[in-house]
């Protein structure tokens, strides 16, 4: 190694040392300067690392995590919607969706991606802009229900070298019945909007989620929506998966069972095909809605699908307003279908009894104003039952005049008019129940006797929805127990029942009168069922007053109404029918009859098959609800 030199003497060293010292003085300050610079550099570096590693550790740890942990959502299937017998109405089918990871998005990829997925480029950019404020790690559902070609496109391009921002995920697509079947009631799902995202109702949702937009899908969105799962993976800088860190399976949404009977619903849908109006059938004993349809309708699957745009424009600009759920939103004069409630008011007020009779000469002169009866020749001497059966207007003019509007309003309100029934659907309308107070409040005008005359036959200021009519009649035939109509089975409707003290003989009188409409030579004799179990009240309501129509030189067809119940004793079903511009109430009765017949037939089939099993004779149920002295089908 390094051998020491023995030749150099001590003195020589010292001489050189002194020389070196002189030189050292020359360099001394300069070495010191470099030392200071060195100290400064190291302090600067340590300070910088302190700032990064100690002061901002959290910031960078989070960034590091974002870097390497990627999570893919596993969308949960929505719950199914079943009818009362468990038959599937709304189902799911397997489909594929493509996700866009916004973290990895490269702007120049957008155009080729849009092209490959048949998406509108401008629309895509607009959508991305809408989600700009959301955290970047939330992926966006680019497109759902991919076609095989689109799936192939994603599969072949989602590798790290081409479009690393694409991800294919399996989703459950909503499948609705076609032909507009029960569309308003069921509602549809759509991608959550930016405004919905800010509502507390959708606090669990993320952009791109599908949520119920209308109808039951909206009403029971919470139940139907499952819990999305997710897969967390460790990825490297190329986005390649290295390890699965966590997996949470999706929890599918709960299915909901409806009170709807698919058979009755089908009958109602078919009966209303091509018409404008609504049918509501419910069980008056508990408020269960058995059928609910509104026409015109629209194809749900088209609204839930990707070419929603065109369909949406079609529907929203259609003058027939197919988006309106007429069953709960159409607010129209109920016409003569309101007479049973006027009759109830009259009997309960004590001003009129079963035998009170008025003469009908085809019209009624009220302070110089002449109110026509629909029968120009008049009904002659008319009792309450006959007035109901023949729908005598003059009788009800007189009754209304005698008891006054507030007495009518009192009982009509008990029967549920003028307010929402509380059915479990969004956006129900309340209709209008006029009274003296109402008129002052709403129109700042006092009530006139002539106003009462109009309301007495279900016209004037009075409007009602088909569901209100069915609900009102249901409570009436139950002897004064009004159950809240509801679509979801087992929704504890009993609690929501309203009871009123009503003399049951009054109820029986009205029911008899209403049954005569169909079975006793009344206005709807054509719709009689052979067993005489079908009862109901017709209504033919003007859309606008005759004066208005004359002044405008137009002739508007009347709306046809019918409100029915069956069987005549211990009713199990109430049906209301609205046929806009159907002209004749008795025609609406035929629709109600079809629904009731379907119900009674089905019930008979069930009893027959049960009876056959138990060896028991088939028989109609004996009256049980109403007390003695009532009429049965046999002694009618």
Partner 1 sequence: MTESRGLRDVDWTMLLIALLLAGIGILQIYSATQSEEGSSLWWKQLIFVGAGLLVFWVISHFDYHSFLGQAPYLYVVFTVILFGLMIFSRVVLGAKRWISLGGGMKLQPSEFMKIVLVLFMARFLADLKTESLDNVDLMKLMGIVFMPFVLVNLQPDLGTSLCYLPVLAVGLLLAGMNRQQAVVLLLIVMLVLPVGWFVLKDYQRARLTSFLDPAQDPQGSGYQVLQSKIAVGSGGMWGAGVTRGMQIQLQFLPFAHTDFIFAAFAEEHGFIGVVTVLGLYFLLLMQILQNAQTAPDRAGTAICMGVAGILLFHVLENVGMVAGLMPVAGIPLPLMSYGGSNILSVFIMLGLVNNVRLRRFLL
Q: Which residue of the set 336, 454, 527, 576 is catalytic?
A: 336
| Calpha distance 79→91 (Å, rounded) | 8
Which CB atom, from 56 or from 179, has the smaller least distance to partner 1?
A: 56
Which CB atom, from 54 or from 203, has the smaller least distance to partner 1?
A: 54
| Calpha distance 497→252 (Å, rounded) | 33
Sole window of 37-45, 109-117, 410-418, 569-577 interacting with partner 1 (rule: CB under 8 A): 37-45
| By the rule CB under 8 A, 244 interacts with partner 1 | no
| By the rule CB under 8 A, 161 interacts with partner 1 | no
DSSP-based three-state secondary structure for 244: strand
The least distance separating partner 1 from the CB of residue 162, rounded to whole angstroms, comes to 15
Sole window of 19-27, 111-119, 186-194, 297-305 interacting with partner 1 (rule: CB under 8 A): 19-27
Applying CB under 8 A, the site for partner 1 has a residue count of 51
| By the rule CB under 8 A, 546 interacts with partner 1 | no
- Residue-level length of the chain: 636
Sole window of 228-236, 372-380, 488-496, 574-582 interacting with partner 1 (rule: CB under 8 A): 228-236
Residues numbered 399 to 458 that lie near partner 1 (CB under 8 A) are none
The least distance separating partner 1 from the CB of residue 147, rounded to whole angstroms, comes to 32
Which CB atom, from 35 or from 365, has the smaller least distance to partner 1?
A: 35
Q: What are phi and psi of 381, to 5 degrees?
A: -65, 125
| Calpha distance 152→172 (Å, rounded) | 19
Sole window of 3-11, 180-188, 196-204, 466-474 interacting with partner 1 (rule: CB under 8 A): 3-11
Listing DSSP states for 44-102 in one string gives HHHHHHHIIIIITHHHHHHHHHHHHEEEEEEPPPPPPEE-TTS-EEEEEEEEEEEEE-T
| By the rule CB under 8 A, 52 interacts with partner 1 | yes
Asked if residues 186 and 81 have their Cβ atoms less than 8 Å apart, the reply is yes
| By the rule CB under 8 A, 48 interacts with partner 1 | yes
| By the rule CB under 8 A, 44 interacts with partner 1 | yes
| By the rule CB under 8 A, 137 interacts with partner 1 | no
Which CB atom, from 46 or from 618, has the smaller least distance to partner 1?
A: 46
Sole window of 57-65, 80-88, 187-195, 398-406 interacting with partner 1 (rule: CB under 8 A): 57-65
The least distance separating partner 1 from the CB of residue 5, rounded to whole angstroms, comes to 4
Sole window of 62-70, 109-117, 298-306, 588-596 interacting with partner 1 (rule: CB under 8 A): 62-70
DSSP-based three-state secondary structure for 204: coil
The least distance separating partner 1 from the CB of residue 245, rounded to whole angstroms, comes to 12
To the nearest 10 degrees (0 to 180), the angle between helices 449-456 and 405-414 is 40
| Calpha distance 14→18 (Å, rounded) | 6
Contact with partner 1 (CB under 8 A) among 86, 87, 106, 353: 106
- Which among 311, 325, 299, 324 has a CA at the least distance from the CA of 178? 299
| By the rule CB under 8 A, 606 interacts with partner 1 | no
- Which among 584, 569, 573 has a CA at the least distance from the CA of 531? 569
Which CB atom, from 60 or from 247, has the smaller least distance to partner 1?
A: 60
Which CB atom, from 35 or from 162, has the smaller least distance to partner 1?
A: 35
Cis peptide before 338 (omega within 30 of 0): no
DSSP-based three-state secondary structure for 446: coil
DSSP-based three-state secondary structure for 518: helix
DSSP-based three-state secondary structure for 486: strand
Cα–Cα distance list, 198 to 134, 205, 295, 399 (Å): 12, 10, 33, 54
The least distance separating partner 1 from the CB of residue 8, rounded to whole angstroms, comes to 6
| By the rule CB under 8 A, 246 interacts with partner 1 | no
| Calpha distance 416→409 (Å, rounded) | 10
Contact with partner 1 (CB under 8 A) among 45, 249, 556, 616: 45
Which CB atom, from 69 or from 543, has the smaller least distance to partner 1?
A: 69
Dmax of the chain from CA atoms?
Answer: 157
The least distance separating partner 1 from the CB of residue 40, rounded to whole angstroms, comes to 10
Listing DSSP states for 118-186 in one string gives T--HHHHHHHHHHTTTS-TTS-EEEESS--HHHHHHHHHH-STTS-TTEEEEEEEEEE--STTTTHHHH
Asked if residues 513 and 385 have their Cβ atoms less than 8 Å apart, the reply is yes
Which CB atom, from 59 or from 249, has the smaller least distance to partner 1?
A: 59
Which CB atom, from 24 or from 246, has the smaller least distance to partner 1?
A: 24
| DSSP label of 508 | H
- Which among 513, 540, 534 has a CA at the least distance from the CA of 590? 534
CB atoms closer than 10 angstroms to residue 202: 18
| By the rule CB under 8 A, 159 interacts with partner 1 | no
The least distance separating partner 1 from the CB of residue 98, rounded to whole angstroms, comes to 22
CB atoms closer than 10 angstroms to residue 455: 25
Q: Active site includes 357?
A: no
Contact with partner 1 (CB under 8 A) among 74, 151, 235, 427: 235
| By the rule CB under 8 A, 132 interacts with partner 1 | no
Residues near partner 1, by CB under 8 A:
1-5, 8, 13, 16-17, 19-20, 23-24, 26-28, 30-31, 33-35, 37-39, 41-42, 44-46, 48-50, 52-54, 56-57, 59-61, 63-64, 67-68, 106, 234-238, 242
Active-site amino acid positions: 336
């Amino acid at each position: 190694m390094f051998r020491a030199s023995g030749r150099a003497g001590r003195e020589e060293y010292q001489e050189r040392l002194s020389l070196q010292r002189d030189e050292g003085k020359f360099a001394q300050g300069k070495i010191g300067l470099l030392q200071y610079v060195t100290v400064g550099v190291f302090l600067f570096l340590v300070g910088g690392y302190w700032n990064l590693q100690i002061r901002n550790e959290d910031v960078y740890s989070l960034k590091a995590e974002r870097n390497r942990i990627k999570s893919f959502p596993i969308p949960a299937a929505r719950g199914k919607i079943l009818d009362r017998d468990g038959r599937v109405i709304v189902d799911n089918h397997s489909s594929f969706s493509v996700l866009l990871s916004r973290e990895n998005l490269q702007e120049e990829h957008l155009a080729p991606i849009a092209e490959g997925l048949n998406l509108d480029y401008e629309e895509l950019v607009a959508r991305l802009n809408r989600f700009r404020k959301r955290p970047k790690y939330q992926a966006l559902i680019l497109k759902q229900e991919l076609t095989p070609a689109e799936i192939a496109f994603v599969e072949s391009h989602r590798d790290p070298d081409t479009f690393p921002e694409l991800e294919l995920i399996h989703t459950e697509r909503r499948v609705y019945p076609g032909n507009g079947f029960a569309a308003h009631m069921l509602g549809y799902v759509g991608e959550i909007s930016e405004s919905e995202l800010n509502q507390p109702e959708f606090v669990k949702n993320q952009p791109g989620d599908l949520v119920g937009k209308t109808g039951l899908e909206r009403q029971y969105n919470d139940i139907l929506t499952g819990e999305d799962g997710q897969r967390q993976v460790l990825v490297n800088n190329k986005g390649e998966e290295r390890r699965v860190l966590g997996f949470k399976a999706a929890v599918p949404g709960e299915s909901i069972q409806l009170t709807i009977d698919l058979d009755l619903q089908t009958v109602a849908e078919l009966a209303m095909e091509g018409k404008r109006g609504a049918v509501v059938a419910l069980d008056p004993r508990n408020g269960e809605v058995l059928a609910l349809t509104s026409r015109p309708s629209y194809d749900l699957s088209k609204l839930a699908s990707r070419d929603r745009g065109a369909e949406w424009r079609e529907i929203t600009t259609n003058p027939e307003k197919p988006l309106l759920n007429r069953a709960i939103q159409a607010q129209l004069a109920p016409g003569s279908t309101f007479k049973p409630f006027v009759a109830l008011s009259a009997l309960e007020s004590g001003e009129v009894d079963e035998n009170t009779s008025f003469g009908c000469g085809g019209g009624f002169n009220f302070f110089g104003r002449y109110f026509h009866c629909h029968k120009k020749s008049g009904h002659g001497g008319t009792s309450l039952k006959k007035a109901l059966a023949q729908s005598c207007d003059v009788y009800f003019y007189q009754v209304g005049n005698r008891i006054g509007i507030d007495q009518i309003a009192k009982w009509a309100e008990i029967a549920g008019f003028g307010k929402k029934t509380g059915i479990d659907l969004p956006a129900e309308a309340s209709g209008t129940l006029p009274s003296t107070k109402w008129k002052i409040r709403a129109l700042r005008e006092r009530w006139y006797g002539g106003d009462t005359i109009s309301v007495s036959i279900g016209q004037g200021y009075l409007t009602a929805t088909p569901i209100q009519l069915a609900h009102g009649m249901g409570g009436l035939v139950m002897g004064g127990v009004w159950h809240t109509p509801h679509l979801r089975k087992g929704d504890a409707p009993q609690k929501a029942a309203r009871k009123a003290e009503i003399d049951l003989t009054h109820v029986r009188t009205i029911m008899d009168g209403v049954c005569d409409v169909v079975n006793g030579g009344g206005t709807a004799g054509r719709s009689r069922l052979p067993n005489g179990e079908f009862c109901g009240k017709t209504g033919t309501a003007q859309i606008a007053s005759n004066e208005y129509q004359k002044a405008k030189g137009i002739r508007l067809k009347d709306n046809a109404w019918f409100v029915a119940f069956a069987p005549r004793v211990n009713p199990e079903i109430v049906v209301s029918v609205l046929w806009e511009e159907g002209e004749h109430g008795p025609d609406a009765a035929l629709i109600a009859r079809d629904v009731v017949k379907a119900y009674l037939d089905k019930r008979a089939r069930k009893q027959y098959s049960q009876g056959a099993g138990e060896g028991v004779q088939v028989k109609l149920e004996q009256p049980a609800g109403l007390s003695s002295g009532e009429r049965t089908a046999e002694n009618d």
